Each structure stands twice: as structure tokens, then as C-alpha cells.
Structure 1
Amino acid sequence: MPEIDALLGQIVPAVQAAVSAYGVGVLARVEDRVVDQAAGETARLGQRLLDRILRRDTDTAQVGTAVADLVEAAGDPDAEGALRLQIRKVLQGDRSLAAELASMLPAGPVVRAGGERSVAVGRDNQGIISTGDGARNFMASEPRTAPEGHGPRRAHP
């Protein structure tokens, strides 16, 4: 069974996408099993995951409350953290549910970048990733002369 933190890293962003797409209506949509074809794949996955979490036999009111709080404070890291914490509690209390949710997730890596100038790489990166202002990037395979005052100078071959 996957580690809880790794599982949360895939489940929570999908549930957040569903909350973002449907707002507080995500709770009603889960109850009605409505799948909006206009929503993105991640939002639909999040909706299915949330449906399974909320339909378990034990008390899930705290997850519903965390979803409603996230709707009211969209993008608030504290509200996102509260949702993550409530889902973590559910998964820690029900390992079979954790395994079931893991089986619902896509096989490939799920990456998420948040915030200004964030970078996410799903598998391998073969090139430069630069987010700085006025950055000058040079590939080692392409020797160049650095601009005046910007590091050591190398002559062209």
C-alpha cells in the first residue's frame, strides 16, 4: 500500500480541483453522482475520490466541513492544509480505503506547481529550467562567452 503522504500528494490536488470546479456544489454533485463533462479530468477524478471518501461507513463530517471552508477561502493555504489533514485522518483510520483510493489514481506521476514562477516536472527534464529575472542560461554543450560582469568567460571553440 502506498505511503499516506504520497497518496495525499495525489488525492488532495484532485479534490481541490473538484472543489475549484464545482464550489460547495461538489458535495451535492457527489451525493447525486453527477459528472460534469465540461470539468477537467483532474476535477472529475477529485469528485470520484471525494465521493468514495464521503461514502465510507464512519463519520466524514469533518471532510465535508473542510471542503466548504476551502470553497469560502479558495486558494488559502490554511484551508487547503485543513482539507489535507482531514483526508489524512480518514486514510490513517481506514487502510483499506487508502488502498482503494490508490487503485483509482492514474499510474503516472502527478505533479503540481503552485505559486508564482513555480516549476513542475512530471518525469525527466533534459534542459534548463529558469525562473529568475534577467537570467542568462548557457548549456554546457554550447560554450558561450558570458556577458561582461556575469561570471567566467569562455572562448568559442
Structure 2
Amino acid sequence: MDFENRFYPTDEMYKEYVYKVLCRDMVVCCIVAAAVAGATMIVCMKYEPVLATIEGVCMVVMLIILFLAPKDTLKRMRAVNMQTDSGTYPECVVNFSDTVKMTEGKYNIEITYGQICRIFRLKSCGVLMYAKEKGILYGGDNFVEKGGEEFETFILEKCTNVKHIENR
């Protein structure tokens, strides 16, 4: 049984992918670190004003990273796409047969199902992660012949490393 998924990527898809998948761990770490720095700053303010100032600076740096890193990642993804395909998002075709083959403009990749370590279901698309920071997007409802529910059953059977599809 083969599946083919055809779609045109949108800014919304890339934005959701960056914020909910690629930068999620960093965002959580920055929030925790900023909260700890803020609490430490408050506790140290009376007795150790220099340490409180350092903690305050650390908190500000964490908050700057929290807001700028995902935006920078998204900007870089768009810049790469502009260089390769004249500023337009080309049609993306993902074939699921013996392997997963993705073609988007001039960019091609082929991976085995064993390489897929996580699968995410986002509002605008799905993501097959085959490395910590590398994934293949597919349009959730853009399968050529069969539907999304059949695909989810198929992909979970093929991907032995994945137990379930995570909603984000």
C-alpha cells in the first residue's frame, strides 16, 4: 500500500513547525531559566545586590533568547527557500512506499521508516522527525487517494521506533 501527499507549504505550516517542534525544548528551558533567575533575583535583592543584578541580567538575556530565537529560525528557513526556488514555495510531494521520499522544488530527500523517531500532528500539517532537528512535513488532508486515518495506521505499522503520534 503506497501513499502520496501533495501540498503547497505555507508560512503558517513553517511557523507552527518552528514554534511547536524545532524550538519547543529551547522555549521551555528559557522559561524555566528565566523564572529561576527572577526568583533568585528577588531573594538576593536585599542581601546581595550585585548577585541580584547578575540574575536580573541573566533573566533578561533568557527572555530575549525566548522571543528572538524562534523568529530567527523561521527567518533562516524562509531565506533558504528564497535562494533555492525564487522566493516561492514550490509544491511538496511526499511518497510513502518502501521508503519516504520528499521532493520540494530542487530539494530531494529519501529516508527509511526506521530512521523516523517521532511523529507530530499539528493543526496545519504533520511532521515526521528523522533527527533531533530534521523533519519532513506533510499536509494532513492532502493525500492523493487514501485518507488520513488510513495513513496514520500505515505509518505507525511501518515506523517501528514510534509508539504513537503526538498532538502539538
Classify the TM-score, shorter chain.
Answer: under 0.3
Higher relative contact order (CA closer than 8 Å, sequence separation 6+): 2
Larger fraction in strand? 2
Larger radius of gyration: 1
Q: TM-score scaled to structure 1, two decimals?
A: 0.26
Q: TM-score scaled to structure 2, two decimals?
A: 0.24
